C-alpha cells in the first residue's frame, strides 16, 4: 500500500487532529499530513505539490472552503488531486455548490472512521 | 455569500418545544461518533446548569439563537482525550477547542434534523467561556430547551436558546 501525503485544511487545530486520527483509524497509511488553518494557507501548501488527497472544512476565516476549492482549480500541481469537503452544515445547497466547484466527496460532521473510509477509499482506489 | 443572501428570504422557523427530543438525539450522536462516549440522559436533573466551561455557537437565519454545551473542566479534558487520543488534551486550550467543536457539531446535527433549517440557518464559529460566575441575557424574548446528560457520573448540559 502506498504511503499517502494528505493536506487537511480546517481553522480548528483540534478538528485537524480528529480528521487525521479518523484517516488512520480508517486504515490509511499516512506518510505525511500537512495542515492549514484556512483556504489561503491551503493553497500555499497545495502549490508545493505531491499531494494524494485534500480534506477541507467549508466554514473558515480568511478564505472559506468553497473559495479555496475554486482557487485550487488554477493550481497546476493540484490537478487531479481529490478534494473532500468536511462541514458541520447539513446544507444540501452547499453540497451542490462544493461538488460543482470540483469536490469529489463530502463528509458531514459528526462522522465515524467507517464513514470516512467509505468516502475516501474510492477516491484513492488507484493508489491504495 | 450567495447562500447567506438566499437565507434572507426564508421564513423564520418557529420554536417547537418538541425540539428537546431532537436536541437530545443530536447531542448523543455527536458524543458517540466523535468521542466514542456513551452519555446517559439525566431524566430528573435537580440542579441548574453548572461547570467552568461553556461552549457557545450562534445561529442566524430561519432560526436565530444559540446552542450551548456546559460541563466541568475535567469533563472537557476527558472528551478532548477521547477525541484526540490519550494525553492530547494536556493543553487547556486543546480541551476548550474540543468542547467548542463538540458544540458546533451538536448545533449542526440538530439543524440538519429539523425541516427547513439545514439550508436556511448558519452557524457561527464556537466561543468558549471559562468560569462559572456569569449570566447570559439577550435583548429579545427567548424560548429554549435544555437537555441534561451525564458521563462517568458527571453532569453535562446542552441548551438551545431561540429568539422569538
Tell me the nearest-neighbour CA distance from B23 into chain A, angstroms: 14
What mean pLDDT comes out for the span A92-114? Answer: 89
Taking CB atoms and an 8 Å limit, are A88 and B98 in contact across chains?
Answer: no
Nearest residue on chain B to A18, judged by CA atoms? B84
More reliable by pLDDT, B111 or B44: B111
State the DSSP code for B2. Answer: H
What does pTM read for this prediction? 0.89
ipTM above 0.95, yes or no: no
What's chain A's average pLDDT?
A: 91
Cβ contact A61:A38 at 8 Å: yes
Instruction: Classify burial at B80, counting beta carbons within 10 Å of its beta carbon; exposed 0-12, middle 13-18, buried 19 or more.
Output: buried
CB-based contact, B109 to chain A, within 8 Å: yes
Please report the number of interchain residue pairs, chain A to chain B, with beta-carbon separation below 8 angstroms: 70
Indicate the pLDDT class of residue B160, thresholds 50, 70 and 90: very high
* Contact list, A101 vs chain B (CB under 8 Å): none
What mean pLDDT comes out for the span B54-77? Answer: 95
Indicate the pLDDT class of residue B88, thresholds 50, 70 and 90: low
What's chain B's average pLDDT?
A: 88
- Its sign, for the CA torsion B106, B110, B112, B113, is positive
Amino acid at each position: 500500500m502506498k504511503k499517502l501525503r494528505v493536506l487537511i485544511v480546517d481553522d480548528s487545530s483540534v478538528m485537524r487532529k480528529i480528521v487525521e486520527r479518523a484517516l488512520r483509524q480508517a486504515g490509511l497509511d499516512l506518510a505525511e499530513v500537512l495542515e492549514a488553518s484556512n483556504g489561503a494557507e491551503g493553497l500555499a501548501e497545495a502549490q508545493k505539490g505531491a499531494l494524494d488527497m485534500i480534506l477541507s472544512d467549508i466554514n473558515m476565516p480568511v478564505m472559506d472552503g468553497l473559495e479555496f476549492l475554486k482557487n485550487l482549480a488554477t493550481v497546476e500541481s493540484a490537478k487531479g488531486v481529490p478534494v473532500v469537503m468536511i462541514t458541520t452544515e447539513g446544507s444540501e445547497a452547499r453540497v451542490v455548490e462544493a461538488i460543482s466547484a470540483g469536490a469529489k466527496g463530502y463528509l458531514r460532521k459528526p462522522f465515524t472512521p467507517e464513514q470516512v473510509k467509505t468516502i475516501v477509499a474510492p477516491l484513492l482506489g488507484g493508489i491504495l | 455569500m450567495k447562500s447567506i443572501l438566499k437565507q434572507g428570504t426564508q421564513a423564520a422557523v418557529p420554536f417547537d418545544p418538541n425540539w428537546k427530543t431532537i436536541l437530545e438525539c443530536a447531542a448523543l450522536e455527536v458524543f458517540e461518533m466523535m468521542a466514542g462516549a456513551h452519555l446517559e440522559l439525566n431524566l430528573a436533573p435537580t440542579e441548574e446548569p453548572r461547570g467552568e466551561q461553556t461552549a457557545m455557537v450562534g445561529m442566524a437565519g430561519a432560526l436565530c439563537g444559540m446552542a450551548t454545551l456546559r460541563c466541568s473542566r475535567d469533563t472537557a479534558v476527558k472528551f478532548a482525550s477521547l477525541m484526540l487520543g490519550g494525553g492530547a488534551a494536556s493543553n487547556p486550550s486543546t480541551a476548550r477547542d474540543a468542547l467548542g467543536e463538540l458544540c458546533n457539531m451538536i448545533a449542526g446535527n440538530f439543524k440538519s434534523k429539523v425541516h427547513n433549517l439545514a439550508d436556511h440557518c448558519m452557524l457561527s464559529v464556537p466561543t468558549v467561556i471559562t468560569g462559572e460566575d456569569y449570566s447570559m441575557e439577550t435583548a429579545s424574548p427567548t424560548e429554549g430547551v435544555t437537555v441534561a446528560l451525564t458521563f462517568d457520573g458527571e453532569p453535562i448540559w446542552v441548551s438551545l436558546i431561540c429568539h422569538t
